[in-house]
Structure 1
Amino acid sequence: MAAAKNKKDWRGAVKGILKAELKRRNLSYAELAEKLRAIGIEDNERNISNKIARGTFTAIFFVQCMEAIGVRTIHLGEDT
């Protein structure tokens, strides 16, 4: 059972990265939907909100969001 205590919350980590990038740019889900639309991705605010809240989006969706909002570098953890 010790392994379960140390298990990383991958879903929460990825969701946190996306939410942090949106917050850093002061963007709402509606604005993210507009930016996705500008790069040819059709999705609406409600679907985006649900995907992010659940943290069950695909890597493709994650990269599309990063591209749409202008993220070029992602830091996955603290450097030690």
Structure 2
Amino acid sequence: MAESKTEQGWSDRAKQYLKAELKRRNVTHEELAGLLAKQGLKETRASVASKMSRGTFPAGFFLASLAAIGCENVRIEDV
């Protein structure tokens, strides 16, 4: 768990958490881009896919994505 306390470790955990939530809800990158657009965020399928594959994205993108797919609660211990 030492890795999880580094910045890269936290980034990896956030990426995995968001990927799992998208999969759990059967939301594609394209659908997420559309949901984010409804919130006023300009994202495309390609930009979402790029952020997800890179695994580095702003906290705002992480939180907006979770809100867009209906995830109302996030426990740090689950990330």
TM-score of the superposition, structure 1-length normalised?
0.84
* Distance (Å, rounded) in 1 between the aligned partners of 2:2 and 2:65: 29
Task: Supply the RMSD in Å over aligned alpha carbons.
Answer: 1.5
* Identical residues among aligned pairs (%): 36
SS class of match (2:21): helix
> What stretches of structure 1 of length at least 5 have no aligned partner?
none
Q: Deviation of residue 70 (structure 1)?
A: 0.9
Q: List runs of 5+ in structure 2 lacking aligned partners.
A: none
More helix per residue: 2
The corresponding residue for 1:6 is 2
For residue 76 of structure 1, report the CA deviation from its aligned partner.
2.7
State the TM-score, normalizing by the size of structure 2.
Answer: 0.85
Segments of 4+ moved more than 6 angstroms: none
